[in-house]
Amino acid sequence: MKRRDTLKALSLSAITATIAGTEAHADVPKKPVAPPSLSDFKNGKSAAELARDAKIAAEPFFSVHEMQTIRLLADFIIPADGQFGGATEAKVGDFIGFIVKDMPQHQTPMRGGLVWLDTQCAKQFGKKFVACTKDQQIKMLDQIAYPEQAKPEMSQGVAFFNLMRNLTATGYFTTEVGFKYLGYVGNRPNAWDGVPAEVLKKYKLSYDS
Amino acid sequence: MSFQIKEQPIVYDVCIVGSGAGGGMAAKVLAEGGAKVALIEAGPWYDPADPKYITQLKNPWESPRRGAGNHRPFGDFDAAWGGWEIDGEPYTRKKGTEFDWFRSRMIGGRTNHWGRISLRFGPLDFKRKDVDGLGDNWPIGYEDVKPYYDKVDRLVGVFGSVENIPNEPDGIFLPPPKPRLHELMIKKAGKKLNIPVIPSRLSILTKPINNERGSCFYCSQCSRGCQAYADFSSSSVLVKPAIKTGNVKVFTNAMAREVLTDKEGIATGVSYVNKDNGQEYTVRANVIVLAASACETARLLLNSKSSRHTKGLGNSSGVLGKYLHDSTGASRSAFMPHLVDRQRYNEDGVGGAHIYSPWWLNDKKLDFPRGYHIEYGGGMGMPGYGFGFGMENTNGKYAGKDGKIKPAGGYGLGLKEDYRHFFGANVGMSGRGEAIAREDNFCEIDPNVVDKYGIPVLRFQYKWSDYEIKQAKHMQDTFEELLLEMGGILNGTKPGPESNYGLAAPGRIIHEVGTTRMGDDPSKSVTNRYSQLHDSRNVFVVDAGTFVSQADKNPTWTILAMSMRASEYIIDQRKKANL
């Protein structure tokens, strides 16, 4: 059974059809000069919200080189394993590309952080991060990925990598592959009848006490 | 385009401003009573079962920002169209004070996304001045409102359990859902500490109550609006049935400007601007019912000045806009080491916690007045924007899947495993308490600022007093006790005096009430005990503006009961030709 069918079977049988023609229009002139955004909705979003999101998506922000670096870093942070895809399969790069435009507070930390990373790699290996060998990349990441062990002169890199780690995790676990890896099995119609018996037993809890 | 005010040819029996809990209830009761009703709403039409509007059961990847709250304040999927800031509809604050004002512009207003926490005020809550000498008593008591609470329970549906706690009156309850795992742990800790933990009281249908509404299918997303109409929102449960009577005409995108009065000072109608075309209209009616929300109604009345009502309609006392108060709020969370690596199953449950703690220290002498209830959170909830943030603060402190503590942060397969390992291992709690209503916390008209419709805007002055700050301190101590008793390791540092113990800014809990408070003395109150303006007998207020004090209870259930009461009074008075 598809999710939608389940939903129908579970809960929609008793629902009457949407009441039609309930909005009053009698006093509204025939040709409203209105901004359509006030009443036009699609898929849960107003026309204004949809237009805003489309505009944000179309705006350029990261360069090709920056996006290449972001994708590479994201895949270091959450790689594929034998069973489940990683950041690449979950298109985490695309998410980060969007969210940084949508949340301006991330723009300078991300852009500046990427330059900081390339500058460090140039100092240590004479190349930008993406051009380094995998061993060099790992050597670099190991200097900034562990906040409590990092040297003080790496603190800006640590801050950048924390942000990169956060955005990668959010970008990954809010996708289908992320749900599967995590084992999140909700967001579907169901019947809740309490904690499974074996779980109650494990924690020595019961509904009777 | 000429500037012309378009007048409706008909005179309605009643014009209601606002379609939230108060307005929706008034529309239903009055329309079913046979009144011809005009219902004015500042936002557009909304129906959570119409695919145009549905966000329920959408997955985070269906939002480019994964449901983040940087535009809609409670996230991309939340069913509140509005927020603390609305483009072109500003408000201001007096220097050195704070107040954040949440508005939803849509049919059903804020009931479309609220927490469905449906608590009755208890006998004490109407007469707190008798106990601590602070604020004022309501002119009515629990016994006056109880019959209406009963009717609201039956009409709307609420689950809960009969507990016989003196100031937490039981209702007519549907069966409550069983607690989730962490909620059982909270219950156990509460028992040890003598803090009551009882089933929540939420207006969610765990069983169907009629043919128009389905029952809950446990997606926990009431805040997105329910396509099965299995939770209470004014839009689904009140406005639609009201329209079905054939007696209600709804005016959407209609922003009320003024209540109009005649030479004798009697209200004759409401003027509004149609947001779709920018034109001005008036709706004439014999009775005006205001339900625009406590502050929006105060604003409308303050802006309704005439030679008869020089300080605004209903303001001969000078009390209009004063005694504004919101719930107190503070929170804390902890990591539960015994909850790592949990067995997976669907524990979405109903929207919100299945348990809560009603205030339990009415009989104890404390260093602050009134009390608070506790709301709980936790579990294996659906990931959205923000999921996984701050792992560097967790995985260096607690052992991972292999039983070893790794260096904090990191990357790669080990890190990936950590997110899975720690999923669902945090528990949080929030207090919601009663503030003291004070004359010097108020909203008034800002003399210098108008919104984009040219309507003068509100200016707020609000400061917490020591009472609320001490209450927040008590909350923090309780949260720590509970979380530690559960075996938790507290997250972050305990909020102290530097942050008023984590006390949220006024307005943030979205329980603002009191601006048109009721009373028997016209010099100290705006409305009488029937929610009727002392100064203009054909104008009623049925939102939370009439609340003299707010209890620690979420206001919606009392708004519904009081609106029903006022609406029945209107019908009665019309029958007796007193209106």
Residue B5's pLDDT band, with cuts at 50, 70 and 90, is: confident
Maximum pairwise Cα distance, chain B:
82
A186 to B68: CB separation less than 8 angstroms, yes or no: no
A146 to B409: CB separation less than 8 angstroms, yes or no: yes
Question: The tokens of B329 are what?
Answer: 């709020």
User: What pLDDT, on the 0 to 100 scale, is given for residue A141?
Assistant: 98
Residue B365 CB coordination number (10 Å): 5
ipTM of the complex: 0.94
Query: What is the torsional sign of CA A155, A156, A159, A164?
Result: negative
Q: A46 contacts in B (CB within 8 Å)?
A: 81
Q: Are B478 and B431 in contact (CB under 8 A)?
A: yes
CB neighbour list of residue A60: distance below 8 Å, 6 or more residues apart: none
Question: The tokens of B210 are what?
Answer: 């009629």
Measured in angstroms, the CA of B125 and the nearest CA of chain A are apart by: 31
pLDDT digits (tens, 9 = 90+) for A153-176: 999 999 999 999 999 999 999 999
User: What pLDDT, on the 0 to 100 scale, is given for residue B428?
Assistant: 98
Q: Could you tell me if A24 lies within 8 Å of chain B, comparing CB atoms?
A: yes
User: What pLDDT, on the 0 to 100 scale, is given for residue B7?
Assistant: 73
Question: What average pLDDT score do residues B25-52 get?
Answer: 97
Question: What average pLDDT score do residues B418-447 get?
Answer: 98
Across chain B, what does the average pLDDT equal? 97
Question: What average pLDDT score do residues A66-83 get?
Answer: 98
pLDDT above 80 (res B338): yes
Three-state SS for chain A is: CCHHHHHHHHHHCCCCCCCCCCECCCCCCCCCCCCHHHCCEECCEEHHHHHHHHHHHHCCCCCHHHHHHHHHHHHHHCCCCCCCCCCCCCCHHHHHHHHHHHCHHHHHHHHHHHHHHHHHHHHHHCCCHHHCCHHHHHHHHHHHCCCCCCCHHHHHHHHHHHHHHHHHHHHHHCCHHHHHHHCCCCCCCCCCCCCCHHHHHHCCCCCCC
B407 to A57: CB separation less than 8 angstroms, yes or no: no
pLDDT digits (tens, 9 = 90+) for B257-280: 999 999 998 999 999 999 999 999
Question: Out of A15, A28, A42, whose CB is closest to B49?
Answer: A15
Q: Are B358 and B170 in contact (CB under 8 A)?
A: no
Residues 126-165 in A contacting B (C-alpha not used; CB under 8 Å): 141, 145-149, 158, 161-162, 165
User: What pLDDT, on the 0 to 100 scale, is given for residue A82?
Assistant: 93
Question: The tokens of B335 are what?
Answer: 């990591």
Q: Are B211 and B188 in contact (CB under 8 A)?
A: no
pLDDT digits (tens, 9 = 90+) for B519-539: 999 999 999 999 999 999 999
User: What pLDDT, on the 0 to 100 scale, is given for residue A14?
Assistant: 32
Report helix, strand or coil for B136.
coil
d(CA A117, CA A112): 9
User: What pLDDT, on the 0 to 100 scale, is given for residue A12?
Assistant: 34
Measured in angstroms, the CA of B413 and the nearest CA of chain A are apart by: 6
Q: What residue of A is the nearest CA neighbor of B251?
A: A24
Measured in angstroms, the CA of A21 and the nearest CA of chain B are apart by: 10
d(CA B23, CA B25): 5
Residue A39's pLDDT band, with cuts at 50, 70 and 90, is: confident
Distances (CA, A) of A42 to A45, B131, B172: 5, 53, 38
Report helix, strand or coil for B456.
strand
Place of tokens 């603002």: B512
User: What pLDDT, on the 0 to 100 scale, is given for residue B288?
Assistant: 98
Report helix, strand or coil for B562.
helix
For chains A and B, CB pairs below 8 A equal: 272
pLDDT above 50 (res B191): yes
Residue A34's pLDDT band, with cuts at 50, 70 and 90, is: very low
pLDDT digits (tens, 9 = 90+) for B106-138: 999 999 999 999 999 999 999 999 999 999 999
pLDDT above 90 (res A85): yes
pLDDT above 80 (res A8): no
Amino acid identity of residue B63, one-letter, is S
pLDDT above 70 (res B560): yes
B383 to A173: CB separation less than 8 angstroms, yes or no: yes
Per this entry, what is the length of chain A? 209
Measured in angstroms, the CA of B571 and the nearest CA of chain A are apart by: 24
B416 to A181: CB separation less than 8 angstroms, yes or no: yes
What share of chain B has pLDDT > 90, as a percent? 98
Residues 57-76 in A contacting B (C-alpha not used; CB under 8 Å): 57, 76
User: What pLDDT, on the 0 to 100 scale, is given for residue B112?
Assistant: 97
Eight-class DSSP state of B62: G
Per this entry, what is the length of chain B? 579
